[in-house]
Structure 1
Amino acid sequence: MRRLVTELVLPLLPRLSPGRARLRLGSNTAHYGDAAAELEAFARPLWGLAPLAAGGGSFEHWELWRRGLAAGTNPGHEEFWGAVTDVDQRLVETAAIGLALALAPEAVWDPLSGRERDDLAAWLLHSMSVEAVDNNWRFFPVMVGLGLDRVGVRFDPGPNLARLERLESFALGGGWYSDGPTAQRDYYVPFAMHYYGLLYATLAADRDLGRAGRLRERAAAFALDFQHWFTSDGAAVPFGRSLTYRFAQGAFWGALAFAGVEALPWGEVKGQLMRHLRWWSGRPIRDSAGLLTLGYGYAQPALAEQYNAPGSPYWALKAFLPLALAAEHPFWTAGERAARELAATSVQPEAGVALMRCERGRQVVMLSAGQHHTWVRHGAAKYAKFAYSTAFGFSVPGGSWGLEQGAFDSTLAVSDDGTHWRPCEVPDCLSSRGGLLHARWTPWPDVEVDTWLLPRPPWHIRVHRLRSGRGLSSAEGAFAVDRDPAAYRAAEGPGHARLDSPAGLCVIEDLCGARSGELVLPLPGTNVIVPRTVIPTLRGEHEPGEHWLACAVLGLSGPCSSTPAPSGTGPASGWPEPPGLEEISALLPGGHPFGDR
Structure 2
Amino acid sequence: MKTFKYTVLIGLICLTITSVANAQTGKKQKIKTATTGAEDRLYWANLLYKMASPVILNLANSTLKQQMPVEVPPGQKTDFFKKVTYLEAVGRTMAGVAPWLALPDDETKEGQLRKKLRTALLKGIANAVDPANPDYLNFRTESQPIVDAAYMAQAFLRAPKALWEPLDAVTKARIAEEFKTLRTRTGAYNNWLLFAGINEAFLMSIGEQADPARLEIAKKKILEWYQGDGWYSDGPSLSIDYYNSYVIHPMLVDFFKVLSDKKRIQPEMYNTAVKRMVRYSEFSERIIAPDGSYPAMGRSVTYRTAAFQALAQVALMEKLPSEISPAQVRSGLTAVMHRMYDQCDNFDKAGWLVLGFCGAQPGIADGYTSTGSLYMATLGFLPLGLPADNVFWTDPAADWTAKKAWSGQPFKKDYHVEY
Same fold (TM over 0.5): yes
State the Cα RMSD in Å. Answer: 3.1
Match of 2:278 in 1: 220
Are 1:251 and 2:309 matched, yes or no? yes
Match of 2:252 in 1: 197
Are 1:275 and 2:335 matched, yes or no? yes
Q: Give the letter for the 1:325 counterpart.
A: L
Q: Which has the larger radius of gyration?
A: 1
Q: Give the letter for the 1:277 counterpart.
A: M
In 2, Cα distance between the equivalents of 1:337 and 1:201? 33
Match of 1:4 in 2: 47
- Following TM superposition, by how much is the alpha carbon of 1:120 offset from its aligned partner in structure 2, in angstroms? 0.9
Q: Give the letter for the 2:289 counterpart.
A: T
Offset from partner CA, 1:511-552 (integer Å, 9 cap, x none): xxxxxxxxxxxxxxxxxxxxxxxxxxxxxxxxxxxxxxxxxx
Provide the secondary structure at the position in 1 that maps to 2:116: coil
1:297 to 358, 362, 378: 358
In 2, Cα distance between the equivalents of 1:20 and 1:107? 23
In 2, Cα distance between the equivalents of 1:342 and 1:316? 24
Q: Which of the two has greater strand per residue?
A: 1
Relative to 1, partners in 2 of residues 1:258 and 1:200: Cα closer, same or farther, differing over 3 Å? farther
Q: Give the letter for the 1:72 counterpart.
A: A
- Following TM superposition, by how much is the alpha carbon of 1:24 offset from its aligned partner in structure 2, in angstroms? 4.3
Q: Give the letter for the 1:286 counterpart.
A: F
Superposed counterparts of 1:406-445, under 5 Å: none
In 1, Cα distance between the equivalents of 2:187 and 2:318? 29
The answer to whether the 8 A contact 2:140-2:181 is kept is: yes
In 2, Cα distance between the equivalents of 1:25 and 1:324? 27
1:60 to 113, 116, 119: 116
Are 1:109 and 2:164 matched, yes or no? yes
Relative to 1, partners in 2 of residues 1:12 and 1:77: Cα closer, same or farther, differing over 3 Å? closer
- Following TM superposition, by how much is the alpha carbon of 1:230 offset from its aligned partner in structure 2, in angstroms? 2.0
How many positions carry a matched residue from both structures? 347
Offset from partner CA, 1:355-395 (integer Å, 9 cap, x none): xxx7879xxxxxxxxxxxxxxxxxxxxxxxxxxxxxxxxxx
In 2, Cα distance between the equivalents of 1:38 and 1:198? 26
The answer to whether the 8 A contact 2:139-2:179 is kept is: no
Q: Give the letter for the 1:272 counterpart.
A: G
Give the unaligned 5+ runs of structure 1. Answer: 345-357, 362-597
Are 1:285 and 2:328 matched, yes or no? no
- Following TM superposition, by how much is the alpha carbon of 1:214 offset from its aligned partner in structure 2, in angstroms? 1.6
1:317 to 362, 378, 388: 378
The answer to whether the 8 A contact 2:99-2:159 is kept is: yes
Q: Give the letter for the 1:273 counterpart.
A: L
Percent identity over the alignment is 25
- Following TM superposition, by how much is the alpha carbon of 1:191 offset from its aligned partner in structure 2, in angstroms? 2.3
Superposed counterparts of 1:393-408, under 5 Å: none
Provide the secondary structure at the position in 1 that maps to 2:289: coil
Are 1:260 and 2:318 matched, yes or no? yes
In 1, Cα distance between the equivalents of 2:351 and 2:192? 30
TM-score, with structure 1 as normaliser: 0.52
Provide the secondary structure at the position in 1 that maps to 2:221: helix
The answer to whether the 8 A contact 1:23-1:41 is kept is: no
Match of 1:95 in 2: 150
Offset from partner CA, 1:164-211 (integer Å, 9 cap, x none): 211111111111111112231201122221222333455555444122
The structure with higher relative contact order (CA 8 Å, sep 6+) is 2
The answer to whether the 8 A contact 1:220-1:262 is kept is: yes
Relative to 1, partners in 2 of residues 1:13 and 1:212: Cα closer, same or farther, differing over 3 Å? closer
The answer to whether the 8 A contact 2:87-2:149 is kept is: no
Superposed counterparts of 1:117-196, under 5 Å: 117-128=172-183, 130-157=185-212, 159-196=214-251
Q: Give the letter for the 2:272 counterpart.
A: R
In 1, Cα distance between the equivalents of 2:257 and 2:396? 24
Offset from partner CA, 1:245-269 (integer Å, 9 cap, x none): 1111222211111333223333333
Relative to 1, partners in 2 of residues 1:152 and 1:130: Cα closer, same or farther, differing over 3 Å? same
Which deviates more from structure 2 when the two are superposed, residues 11-20 or residues 313-322? Answer: 11-20
- Following TM superposition, by how much is the alpha carbon of 1:121 offset from its aligned partner in structure 2, in angstroms? 0.7
Q: Give the letter for the 1:176 counterpart.
A: W
Match of 1:240 in 2: 298
Relative to 1, partners in 2 of residues 1:331 and 1:342: Cα closer, same or farther, differing over 3 Å? closer
Q: Which of the two has greater helix per residue?
A: 2
- Following TM superposition, by how much is the alpha carbon of 1:101 offset from its aligned partner in structure 2, in angstroms? 1.7
Superposed counterparts of 1:509-548, under 5 Å: none
Give the unaligned 5+ runs of structure 2. Answer: 1-43, 105-110, 410-419
Q: Give the letter for the 2:174 counterpart.
A: D
Provide the secondary structure at the position in 2 that maps to 1:172: strand
The answer to whether the 8 A contact 2:100-2:384 is kept is: yes
